[in-house]
Amino acid sequence: MVNKICIIGVGLIGGSLALALKKTGFCQTVIGAGRNQHRLEQALSLGVIDECELDYAKAVADADLVFISVPLGAMEEVFEKIRPGLKSHTIVTDGGSAKHSVIEAASEKLGVQLGQFVPGHPIAGTEKSGVEAAFDSLYQNRKVILTPLEDNTPESVKLVEHMWQSAGAEVEIMGARHHDLVLAGTSHMPHVLAYGLVDCLNNAEDVEEIFDFAAGGFRDFTRIASSDPVMWRDICLANGDAILAMMHKYQETLDTLKQAIAQEDGEQLETLFKRAKAARDKFCM
């Protein structure tokens, strides 16, 4: 059991981890850190955290484990602010959706303490945000990807792995570059497409009628467009190359579909739709 864990960014992701770890007894005390006193007090009142602190260096000073759950654009600042308070035994991990940019930020700001940082990414979430949306079963049977560094000790990686397993997650190990490419296709691009579709229709002349008659398919496809815009802005900027590569591939498929529709090629459409259905039925049971 860990004595103290510090969670920087007590929203849906950080708050849900806190609740899960408190429920399973993984740690004795959860310290919440952030920039907004009101939100931290809200987390306290909800029982998500046990203590709160605005000073990041003070927050991590007595922690055995630190989980950083902030937008990617804020990672560098957090690493800089926690460094003075990090003890040599403290292990740091994160929940950032793009790993290479986070590793670069950690390398620059943590310096010789970089080996204490084990990069990670929980493949979980909802379209909601804020500590009030947190719940203790968010990570049950969900995947978490760790992208360890050469400087990490086996013990530090095991500790982070055990933390996620205690929250109910299944842990996978992957290289950072490969992670960013995979997630660009399975997570990042779908969010971009959902935001894009909603914005496209919102700019149509008959927008009210369009949304009035929106059926279940539209609601299912665009649900993730209700996610935190700041978080997804940062993901697009941090993992732009991989996202663009996937978007180019998707554009090729769109061009095929456009051509088939224009040419009234029902056979081509059916072939593509059948192939896509078979793939989804196989991998998304």
pLDDT tens string 166-192: 999 999 999 999 999 999 999 999 999
Q: Phi and psi for 124 in degrees, rounded to 5? A: -155, 160
Pick from 273, 227, 243, 234: nearest CA to 102: 234
In this structure, what are the phi and psi dihedrals at residue 209, rounded to the nearest 5 degrees? -65, -40
Integer CA distances (angstroms), 146 to 2, 23, 120, 161, in order: 19, 23, 4, 8
> What is the number of domains present in the chain?
2
Domain boundary at 174, 197, 228, which? 174
- C-alpha 59/C-alpha 87 separation (Å) is 12
Which domain covers residue 187, as residue numbers?
A: 178-283
DSSP-derived secondary structure letter, 99: H
Q: Are residues 93 and 197 in the same domain?
A: no
Using CA atoms, how far apart are residues 143 and 128, in angstroms rounded to an integer?
19
- pLDDT at residue 285 tops 90: no
Q: Which of 24, 25, 33, 31 is nearest to 50 (CA)?
A: 31
The last residue of one of the domains, among 174, 204, 231, is 174
pLDDT for the residue numbered 210: 81
Same domain, residue pair 228 and 91: no
Q: How confident is the model at residue 212 (pLDDT cuts 50, 70, 90)?
A: confident
